[in-house]
Chain A
Amino acid sequence: MSVLTAVHRAFRWGIDHYLALPLGVIAALVWVQAGAERYFRFSHAASFVVNEVGMALFLAVMTKEVVEALSAGGALHSWRHRSMAIVAGVGGMIGASLAYLAYLHTGDELSVLHPGWPVACAIDLAFCYFVAKGIFGRHPAVSFALLLAIVTDILEFLIVALRYPVADVHATGVLLMAAAILVAIALRKSRVRRAWPYIAVAGGLSWVALFWAGLHPAFALVPVVPLLPHAPHDPGFLAEPPPDAHDPLNEFERTWKYPVHVVIFLFGLVNAGVPLQGWGTGSWAVLTAALAGRPSGILLAVAAGLAAGLHLPARIGWRDVVVIAFTASIGFAFSLLVATQAFGIGPVLIEVTIGALLSLCGAVVALVLAALLRVGKFAPSHISHVAHGSA
């Protein structure tokens, strides 16, 4: 019985911390080193279903978190007062892309690798959140980091959707998308309180619309999810919905929570298998952008924002911003997603994929800096508070 309880707890902990993705990545890395040909046969057979169908669910869950963050109590609700995080997010993107391109300028592979600059810009929302929460606990720095990451990824999605069409663009896709949105609005006006009609009918139409339009159908549920009726308050980022929440948005999350973890495990498994010999200029460029470009961009943007009269949120100082800047350097799953859109199959994609995976080092740098700068859980006041509390 106690073993079962321990397994259940470990499973819940894994789900709560989005461990399915790194597990998928580790499985892919082991598999590709053991038998590359078999691995790539599997990954190519599964890539469309996982990347263009399954990932629509993952992106829908992320969109749900953004929609709720816009509600009362959410990180984005009073965004006008949090404009510094938006400025920092944009600064981070500019810093990352400039560092990526500057690194490539030092050699002769700029021409073939330059389409990958958006890979360097992406932030893994879930990882950024968990690392920030691990360092800062309930400190406002977590909301600041989350808002910065959300702003970055919204811009990133726009760039990917428009910059990397998968096929020739057909105007009829626009009509189908309009129909999908009209269906979702009609369902909402008719007070439909179940999630599946929105997802199946409006989402299905949207998927076909994007596919037909030559854009990535993985984004199909992004315009539909905001139209699902939802609770007026945000329960928190990636938090369990309250048991009494029966609105379609929370019903959607409850239904798809576990399947989404299967999807992100498969996403890691299908996309992260890279032979170690594949390391190259693209790997260095993405790493430089993540670990040097983005933190520098964020710090400079914050400095510029302060000079322009903006304010950092209460209880956030420069030392916190430095740690947040490195927390936001993790591109991981989001960079992988963008990489698969930016490059076709080949050694160049493998190079940038390695860089995206290694951007996880940003978490280690953030932790070390937090300890050195004594911020968050490493702050003397926090440590003494914990010591007193436990005594």
Chain B
Amino acid sequence: MRRRSVGVRLAVLAVALLAGQLLAQSQRLPNAAGSVKFAVIGDNGTGDRPQYDVGAQMARARASFPFDTVLMLGDNMYGSQEPADFVKKFEQPYKTLLMAGVQFFATLGNHDNQLNRYYKPFNMTGARYYTFAKKNVRFFVLDSDSLDPRQMAWLEEVLKSSTDEWKICYFHHPLYSDGGTHGSAVELRVVLEPLFIRYGVAVVFSGHEHFYERLTPQKGIYYFIEGAGGQLRRGDIVRSEFKAAGFDQDQSFMLVEISGADLYFQTISRAGLTVDSGSIHRGGPGL
């Protein structure tokens, strides 16, 4: 009787694991030819097992969803940041992706050495803040550790001059957050949000909070937090009117696809489970 009970449990576990793998492979994105495809990770550089697991899931996802870009939302490296750490905390966990030619574009978090902006695979070309484009999408990468007048003037200029269909901003500290530990960076919000609204920024990604959260659109802008690429603060999401979806039980990463006026996203946990997904139509309601 007891032996049978153990057997049943093992069978249930095996089915659950198999289901997890199948779910990870069940893409919820259109995967259209010619679309912009990228992944998003944040607060990842621990060098610990969970970071490696997320890296493996990203590589698995790429087999069916061939993204060529990864946005890094800061805290790309924790603790010691010597040359050996770049191998342990970046090059090894994402080895498969790097070997496949996937490009990583980083922003700096409060735990990052500011000199890491010169590390070639982060593609920051030595700048604390910069911009780059992929087809009809322009990304604006900010340094939210210290938003000085020069950076603000630069941001306004590049936002104003951009004629790209999609404008996406990303930086480390979230303007809206339901995190019990940090919460919203209200002071940053007060200075950044008016520019985002004025110049038509559609989507903002941030990290810092060690979980995944999708906020209800704020003044027409979609805000995502993805700060669980290696770190995790289990149970830290406090329910509020901002929260549309959240996941603080395991590490995670995001997959995003932009096709014409539509943006599709899927958030996948370290175990391979899809924890959130949806779409945004630019200039109209989505999700």
Residues of A within 8 A of B (CB): 36-37, 40-41, 44, 108-109, 111-112, 166-167, 275, 277, 280-281, 343-350
B213 is an interface residue with CB less than 8 A from chain A: no
Binds A, one of B9-17, B139-147, B266-274: B139-147
- For this complex, 27 residue pairs linking A to B, each with C-beta atoms less than 8 Å apart, are A37-B189, A40-B187, A44-B191, A108-B78, A109-B111, A112-B108, A112-B146, A166-B149, A167-B149, A167-B150, A275-B186, A277-B182, A280-B110, A281-B110, A343-B148, A344-B146, A345-B146, A345-B147, A345-B191, A346-B145, A346-B173, A346-B185, A346-B188, A347-B110, A347-B145, A347-B173, A347-B188
A390 to B112: give the CA distance in the assembly, Å.
63
Measured between beta carbons, the chain B residues less than 8 angstroms from A108 are 77-81, 111, 113
Min CB–CB distance B182 → chain A (angstroms) = 6
- Asked whether any CB of chain A lies closer than 8 Å to the CB of B114, the reply is yes
Complex: chain B residue closest to A32, CB-CB: B186
Say yes or no for B99: interface residue by CB 8 A criterion. Answer: no
Contacts A108-B81, A112-B110, A347-B110 aside, 13 further interface pairs with beta carbons under 8 A come to A108-B78, A108-B111, A109-B111, A111-B113, A112-B146, A167-B149, A167-B150, A344-B151, A345-B147, A346-B145, A346-B147, A347-B144, A347-B173
Give CA–CA (A109, B185) in the complex, Å: 18
CA distance A109 to B183 in the complex (A): 20
Complex Cα spacing A108 to B108, Å:
13
User: Which listed residue, A36, A40, A343, touches B146 by the CB 8 Å rule?
Assistant: A343
Cα distance, A41 to B78, chains bound together (Å):
33
Report the minimal beta-carbon distance from B145 to chain A, rounded to whole angstroms. 5
Q: Which residue of A lies closest to B111 (CB)?
A: A108
Q: Which of B80, B111, B146 is the most central at the interface, judged by chain A CB atoms within 10 Å of its CB?
A: B146
Q: Which residue of A lies closest to B181 (CB)?
A: A277
With A37-B190, A347-B110 in contact, is A112–B145 under 8 Å at CB? yes
Measured in the bound complex, the distance between the Cα atoms of B81 and A309 in whole Å is 46
The residue among A36, A44, A108 with the most chain B CB atoms within 10 A of its own CB is A108
List of 3 A-B pairs having minimum Cβ-Cβ separation, nearest first: A344-B148, A344-B146, A36-B186
CB-CB under 8 A from B184, the residues of chain A are 36
Chain B residues touching A, range: 20 to 34
Most buried by A among B81, B149, B185, B186: B186
Interface contact B190-A349, CB-CB below 8 Å: no
B144 and A346 contact, CB distance less than 8 A: yes
Q: B115 an interface residue at 8 Å Cβ cutoff?
A: yes
Query: Which single residue of chain B is at the shortest CB-CB distance from A280?
Result: B110
Q: How far apart are B238's CB and chain A's nearest CB, in angstroms?
A: 11
Of the residues B80, B114, B186, contact of A112 by C-beta under 8 Å: B114
The smallest beta-carbon distance between B27 and chain A, in angstroms, is 36
Query: With a CB–CB cut-off of 8 A, which chain B residues contact A112?
Result: 108, 110, 112, 114, 145-146
> A185 vs B44: C-alpha distance in the bound complex, in angstroms?
61
In the complex, are the beta carbons of B147 and A344 less than 8 A apart? yes
Rounded to whole Å, the gap between the CB of B196 and the closest CB of chain A is 15
Quote the shortest CB–CB distance from A142 to chain B (angstroms): 38
Q: What residues of A have a CB within 8 angstroms of the CB of B115 in the complex?
A: 111
Chain B contacts for A167, CB-based, 8 A: 149-150
Proximity string of chain B (191-203) to chain A, C-beta cutoff 8 Å, 1 when within and 0 when not = 1000000000000
Q: Do B79 and A347 touch (CB < 8 A)?
A: no
- Please, which residues of chain A bring their CB within 8 A of the CB of B188? 345-347
Q: Contacts of A349 on B, CB cut-off 8 Å?
A: 146
State the Cβ distance, A77 to closest chain B Cβ, in Å: 41
Chain B residue with the shortest CB-CB distance to A343: B146
Cα(A346)–Cα(B74), bound, Å = 15
Cα distance A13–B108 in the bound complex, in angstroms = 48
A281 CA / B188 CA spacing, docked (Å): 19
Shortest C-beta distance, A217 to chain B (Å), equals 14
Evaluate whether A44 and B190 lie within 8 angstroms (CB atoms) in the complex, with A166-B149, A343-B146, A347-B173 already known. Answer: yes
* Interface-central residue, A112, A348, A350, by most chain B CB under 10 Å: A112
Which of B113, B145, B150, B182 is within 8 Å of A348, CB to CB?
Answer: B145
A215 to B111, CA, bound (A): 30
**A109 CB → nearest B CB, Å:** 6
Known: A109-B110, A111-B115, A112-B114. A350 touches B187 (CB 8 A): yes
> Are B111 and A347 in touch, CB under 8 angstroms?
no
Complex Cα distance A41/B81, Å? 37
A346 proximity list for chain B (CB < 8 A)? 144-147, 173, 185, 187-188
What is the CA–CA distance of A281 and B110 in the complex, to the nearest angstrom?
10
Contact A277 B191 (CB under 8 A): no
- What's the Cα separation between A36 and B78 when bound, in Å? 30
Specify which chain B residues have a CB less than 8 angstroms from the CB of A350 in the assembled complex: 187
Residues of B near A166 (CB, < 8 A) are: 149
| Alpha-carbon distance A350/B190, docked complex (angstroms) | 14
Neighbouring A residues of B79 by C-beta, 8 Å: 108
Q: Which of B77-105 contact A (CB under 8 A)?
A: 77-81
Chain B residue with the shortest CB-CB distance to A350: B187
